[in-house]
Every structure is written in structure tokens, then in C-alpha cells.
Amino acid sequence: MRRPRGRRRAGARRLAVVAALVTCVLLCAALAAVARLARLARRAEREAVAAGGGTAAATGVPGAPRPEAVVVLGAAASREGPSGELRARLDHAVRLWRQGVAPLILVSGGTSGDVDEALVMRTYLVTTGIPPAAVAAALPGDTTRATLRTLARRGPGPYVLVSSPYHALRLRVEARRQGVDATVSAPASTPETRRPATHRVRFGSELFAVVWYALPSSWTARTSTRPGTARHVVPHVLIGRRPPRDLLTILRGRDR
């Protein structure tokens, strides 16, 4: 016996209402989660900038172990030298080293064409007056995760991780995940954080990256998060440092 058309319509309406309610609940939950993550990221930014000397040992707290090294995470570089963003990180590491925070500076970065970011970083540090012996061999790692895995194999720390402020939460969470004892320290101002629009793009990109890094590695292994991918290039396109065609090249799969 066929159901009356009125009943079928009523049932369809009920299903539509239930689907709308479920969608609304899920959307509200997602927005609340994003807002919570954004608050955590903002707090991590503030704490990284406020860290200054990086660790309790640097501020004279009795019993706190001295960090083994200041570790600088890479960013864009060219044959002419580090980009402004990378230079801000390196200058911050120089200040920490001169304050006696740690005896060594470690650098880590990937390659872009024939440019080795880590080599550019090391050369820059030496030209600022850091003794070559105080700049240890570069850490293999062209992503945050790869760098921290290498650092974990080197030893549990403690270390001071230096990067841009918006990178602080992901660094802190990934260091804990990899078993690395580390404090994040960041310069108060960088070229990207001084531009509100670029800072917002970077900040949003980092929120996505924090969630992405939390997924099982078997899900994300085939997707690159290295410098040179769209997530990293968009801010440079927005501020005019790279042409839009660079982003199109990446989206077409011709870049790394």
C-alpha cells in the first residue's frame, strides 16, 4: 500500500529540518573550535615575543637547565641573502646568542632551486660576527615537522626555537609531539607581522597547519607543506614580493 503523498511530504520536511539543525550544530561547533584555536595561537604569539631570552635559564631562575642551542627555522632566501622575514629571525637568534642564552646556533631550511636556505642562514650569521664554531652544522629538514624530528634525534634538549610569531603555536605543539624540550622565542616585529593583511593571511595559514599536523601522518604524507607551496607563497603575492604567476605555477603542480 502506497503512503499518502501528504505523509511523504511531511516526512521529507521533517528530514530537512533535522538536517538543517544538525548542519547548524556542526557549523557552530566548527566556528567555536576555530575561535578557540585562534585564541591559543594569539596567546602563543604573545608568549613567544615575551620570551625574550627564551628560557628560565636565560632569566636567571635557579636550577633551570641552559639550552643546548638556539634553533632558527628557515624561510625564503635567495643567492643575495635571506629574505626580510628570515633576516628578522636570524637577527633575533644573534641577540639571544649574545645574551648567553645558548652556546650554539642551529639553522634549518630547505632548498629552492639552487639556493640552500641553511647555507644562506649560516653565511649571514657569520657575517654578523658570530664565530663559525658557534654556528653548528645545519639540521636536515625542509618542514617544521622534519626539523623537529631531526632535532629529537640530536637530543631532547632543551632548545630555544626561533621563528616568526605566527609560527609559535605549531612549533610548540609539534615539539611536544616529537618529544623535544623547547621554548619558542620570536622577534617582536617582522616584515610580515608589520603588514596587517599579510599577518592575517599567515595567521590563518598557521591555524590550518596546526590542524593538518594533528592528522595522522599516513593521511598527510603525500601532501607537501614545504616553503614554496601555495600556503607559503600567497602572502608574498599579496604584498607584491612575488608575481601572481608564481602562485599559478604552484597550483598547476609545477612547483614543489
In this predicted structure, the answer to whether residue 27 has a pLDDT above a threshold of 70 is yes
The residue written with cell numbers 607543506 in the block is 225
Q: Residue 112's pLDDT is what? A: 73
Contact 210, 170 (CB under 8 A): yes
Residue 125: band (very low, low, confident or very high) from pLDDT cuts 50, 70, 90: very high
Structural domains for the chain: 49-185 (3.40.50.620), 196-251 (no CATH)
- Enter the C-alpha cell of residue 179: 618529544
pLDDT of 13 reads 79
CB contact at 8 A, 82 and 162: no
Distances (CA, A) of 213 to 165, 217, 230: 18, 8, 17
C-alpha cell of residue 245: 604567476
Highest mean pLDDT among 51-55, 84-88, 212-216 belongs to 84-88
